[in-house]
Amino acid sequence: MVDAKTVKVFAHRGGREWAPENTMAAFRQALDLRVDGIELDVQRCSTGELVVFHDEDLSRTTNGVGLVADVSFDELRRLDAGSWFDKEFKGEKVPTLEEVLNLVDGKCILNIEVKNAPVSYEGIEDDLLALIEAYPHPETLIISSFDHYVLRNLAQRAPQYQLAVLADAVLIDLPAYAATFGARYFHPCFDSCRPDVVEQCHQAGIGVNPWTVNGRKSWSRALKMQVDGIVTDDPEDLMVFLGRAVAVTV
Ligand code: G3P
Ligand code: MG
């Protein structure tokens, strides 16, 4: 039985309501709030570093242009990833996954979403495994991707990691499908998350963490559905809604 006390709160991209998404500023605030988990997106720049960034294109959330895949790490680091959100965050940088791993350091669950479409980062699974190999809290990692080949490759190379099937659909026989790569979680778009889907997953021992669930009505619906975790842009208000934090901002 999941309730307001036990449902896990995940800060989507670190919490998009309060800070520029996928930045250290957002992740620090999420940790200060003591969220149960942080979701972030990973891509690869031209010099091979795994960086935390949502879009394949730089223009929405930085002052740069072009593809993440085409810029070097030095070029990427010169970009401002904060001003587009608020001038208060001017100078915020695009973090590396390594920096976020060092910051989080097991303080909460880290859901690493591997972006591999529309840009395909060949061998990104190996880069990720090489990086998280030294992470001292592997049991707190959940790796997800819309590219299920990535999940399958990870499962074949390193079955010790928890995987989540990421999808925007009601899948046929999800438990059987998830079992093909030993996935322990299903991360559905909230629009395709239904009580029978949650029930089916739970019967197979699969946890369900839908995204992106914003606002009281949706949070109530998610709780009623008995989801295990709620991935939200607004973790602060969700914590207040659940009776687990006092509002920090007015
Ligand atoms: O991982 C859940 C969610 O983040 C997937 O969608 O586009 O926000 O990365 P997106
Ligand atoms: Mg994501």
Cα–Cα distance measured from residue 20 to residue 67, given in angstroms and rounded to the nearest whole number: 19
CB 97 within 8 A of CB 27: no
CB 236 within 8 A of CB 17: yes
Instruction: Assess if residue 98 is contained within a domain.
Output: yes
In a domain, 218, yes or no: yes
Report which ligand 1 atom has the smallest distance to the Cα of 12.
4
Residue 161: CB within 6 Å of ligand 1? no
- Does residue 249 form part of some domain? no
54 labelled catalytic: yes
In a domain, residue 126? The reply is yes
User: What is the reported pLDDT for 250?
Assistant: 45
State the CB neighbour count (10 A cutoff) for residue 40: 25
Q: Is the CB of 113 under 6 A from ligand 1?
A: yes
| 137 labelled catalytic | no
Count of domains for the chain = 1
Q: Is position 61 within any domain?
A: yes
- Assigned domain for 65 exists: yes
Residue type, 45: C
Structural domain range at position 156: 8-241
Q: Is the entire prediction scored with pTM above 0.85?
A: yes
Cα of 24 from ligand 2 centre, angstroms: 16
The ligand whose atoms approach the alpha carbon of 144 most closely is 1
Ligand 1 touching residue 211 (CB < 6 A): yes
Q: How far is the CA of 44 from the centre of ligand 1 (A)?
A: 17
Q: Let me know if residue 1 belongs to a domain.
A: no
Residue 250 lies in a domain: no
166 lines ligand 1 (CB under 6 A): yes
- Sign of the Cα torsion 209, 210, 214, 215 reads negative
Round to whole Å and give the CA distance between 113 and 152: 14
> What pLDDT sits at residue 245?
75
Question: How far does residue 211's CA lie from ligand 1's centre (Å)?
Answer: 7
Alpha helix (H) ranges present in the chain? Answer: 24-32, 73-77, 97-104, 124-132, 148-157, 174-179, 195-203, 216-224, 235-241
β-pairing verdict for 229-232 and 207-208: unpaired
Asked whether 35 lines ligand 1 (CB < 6 A), one says no
What are the average pLDDT values for consecutive 10-residue runs of the chain, which has 250 residues?
A: 94 95 98 97 98 98 98 98 97 98 98 98 98 98 98 98 98 96 97 97 98 98 98 97 72
| CATH for 65 | 3.20.20.190
* Amino acid of residue 63: N
